[in-house]
C-alpha cells in the first residue's frame, strides 16, 4: 500500500494597490486583494491525467474572482482526499495561499495532510545554484517551463477575462505539475517524508513513493546508547532502519534522517 500523493500548483492574481511611486514604496491602499486564478493537480500513480481548472471554467464567470469559491471547493476536495501534498514552495506559498482563501470564503479546514515541499526540503540535503523549479528542471534534464520569459501581461489578461490568456495560463499551470512530478520522482529517496511503513505491515522502504519490500540489510546505525539494523532499498536507493534496537524484534523501518 502507498499513501495518496497529490501534486499541485496554483496561480494567483496580484494585489492591486495605490502607491506614490514605483520603487521601494509602501501601498497607500489596496484597491483589489489577490485571489486564486487557477490550479493544476495530479494524483501519483493514476495514469497521466492532470486536472486543470481556471476561474473561467465555472458557470457564472464574469471576470475577476467571481467564481473563485467554486474553484476553491474543487481544490478543497482534492486536499481532503490526499495523504501527502507535493508542491514546489508549497509549504510557504501554495498551501498557505489556499488556506487564506478558504478562510476568506468561510470554508472549514480540509482534512489534515503532510506537505512535501520540493524546494524547502531539498535545501536540507543539497545545495544547487538555484532551487527554482525551472532551474532544477533544466539542470536535471527534465525540461523547462513553457513560459520562461512571459511577463505579467498573461496574468493581467486573465484578470480581464481574455480567453487567449486563459488558455495560455492553463498550459503554463499544467506544465508546472508535469515538471513537479518528474522532479519529485528524482528527489523522493533523498527527502525527509512521511514513512511508507505507516500504510503497510511488515518491513517496507520508508520512501512513500516506493514502499518496496526489496530491502537489503546494510550494516547498522549506532545511536548514543543503542544499535539498529540498517537497510537500503534496492529499488529507489533510500535508506532506513528498524525502530527497535538490534536486540529487539524487527519492525517497520523509519526514514534515513533518524538522529
Q: Are residues 109 and 230 in the same domain?
A: no
- Residue whose C-alpha cell is 518491513: 203
Q: Are residues 14 and 38 in the same domain?
A: yes
Domain assignment present for 194: no
Q: Are residues 40 and 88 in the same domain?
A: yes
Q: Which of 142, 162, 187 is the last residue of a domain?
A: 187
Domain assignment present for 92: yes
Domain assignment present for 114: yes
Domain assignment present for 193: no
Q: Quick check: 217 and 229 in contact, CB under 8 A?
A: yes
Q: Provide the pLDDT for residue 78.
A: 98
The residue length of the chain stands at 259
Helix H or strand E encompassing 18: strand 16-18
Q: Which of 130, 164, 187 is the last residue of a domain?
A: 187
Give the residue among 197, 175, 201, 213 at the shortest CA–CA distance from 255: 197
Strands 36-43 and 29-32: unpaired
Strands 114-117 and 84-87: parallel
Angle (deg, nearest 10), helices 68-80 and 95-104: 120
CATH of the domain at 174: 3.30.420.10
Give the residue among 21, 25, 11, 129 at the shortest CA–CA distance from 75: 11
State how many domains the chain has.
Answer: 2
Domain assignment present for 228: yes
Q: Are residues 169 and 46 in the same domain?
A: yes
Q: Are residues 72 and 45 in the same domain?
A: yes
Contacts of 84 (CB under 8 A, 6+ apart): 3, 4, 5, 6, 113, 114, 115, 116, 193, 194, 208
As a whole number of angstroms, the distance between CA 159 and CA 13 comes to 7
DSSP, res 47: T
Domain containing 224: what range?
202-255
Q: Quick check: 238 and 213 in contact, CB under 8 A?
A: no
Q: Are residues 22 and 138 in the same domain?
A: yes
pTM comes to 0.89
Q: Quick check: 193 and 208 in contact, CB under 8 A?
A: yes
Domain assignment present for 80: yes
Contacts of 83 (CB under 8 A, 6+ apart): 3, 4, 5, 113, 114, 194, 199, 208
| Per-residue model confidence as pLDDT tens for the chain (259 residues) | 889 999 999 999 999 999 999 888 999 999 999 999 999 999 998 777 999 999 999 999 998 999 999 999 999 999 999 999 999 999 999 999 999 999 999 999 999 999 999 999 999 999 999 999 999 999 999 999 877 556 789 999 999 999 999 999 999 999 999 999 999 999 999 999 999 988 988 889 999 999 999 999 989 989 888 898 999 999 999 998 888 887 654 445 555 544 3
Amino acid at each position: 500500500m502507498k499513501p495518496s500523493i497529490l501534486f499541485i500548483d496554483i496561480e494567483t492574481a496580484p494585489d492591486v494597490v495605490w502607491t506614490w511611486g514605483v520603487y521601494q514604496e509602501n501601498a497607500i491602499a489596496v484597491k483589489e486583494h489577490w485571489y486564486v486564478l487557477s490550479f493544476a493537480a495530479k494524483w501519483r500513480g493514476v495514469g497521466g491525467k492532470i486536472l486543470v481548472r481556471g476561474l473561467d471554467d465555472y458557470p457564472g464567470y464574469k471576470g475577476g474572482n467571481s467564481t473563485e469559491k467554486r474553484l476553491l471547493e474543487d481544490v478543497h476536495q482534492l486536499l481532503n482526499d490526499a495523504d501527502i501534498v507535493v508542491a514546489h514552495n508549497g509549504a510557504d506559498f501554495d498551501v498557505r495561499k489556499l488556506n487564506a482563501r478558504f478562510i476568506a470564503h468561510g470554508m472549514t479546514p480540509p482534512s489534515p495532510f503532510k506537505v512535501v515541499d520540493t524546494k524547502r526540503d531539498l535545501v536540507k540535503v543539497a545545495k544547487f545554484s538555484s532551487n527554482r523549479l525551472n532551474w532544477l528542471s533544466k539542470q536535471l534534464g527534465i525540461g523547462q517551463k513553457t513560459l520562461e520569459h512571459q511577463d505579467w501581461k498573461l496574468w493581467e489578461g486573465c484578470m480581464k477575462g481574455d480567453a487567449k490568456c486563459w488558455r495560455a495560463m492553463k498550459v503554463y499551470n499544467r506544465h508546472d505539475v508535469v515538471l513537479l512530478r518528474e522532479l519529485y520522482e528524482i528527489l523522493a529517496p533523498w527527502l525527509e517524508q512521511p514513512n511508507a511503513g505507516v500504510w503497510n505491515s511488515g518491513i517496507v522502504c520508508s520512501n512513500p513513493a516506493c514502499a518496496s519490500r526489496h530491502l537489503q540489510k546494510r550494516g547498522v546505525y549506532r545511536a548514543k546508547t543503542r544499535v539498529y539494523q540498517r537497510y537500503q532499498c534496492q529499488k529507489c536507493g533510500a535508506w532506513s532502519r528498524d525502530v527497535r534496537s538490534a536486540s529487539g524484534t524487527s519492525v517497520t523501518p523509519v526514514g534515513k534522517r533518524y538522529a
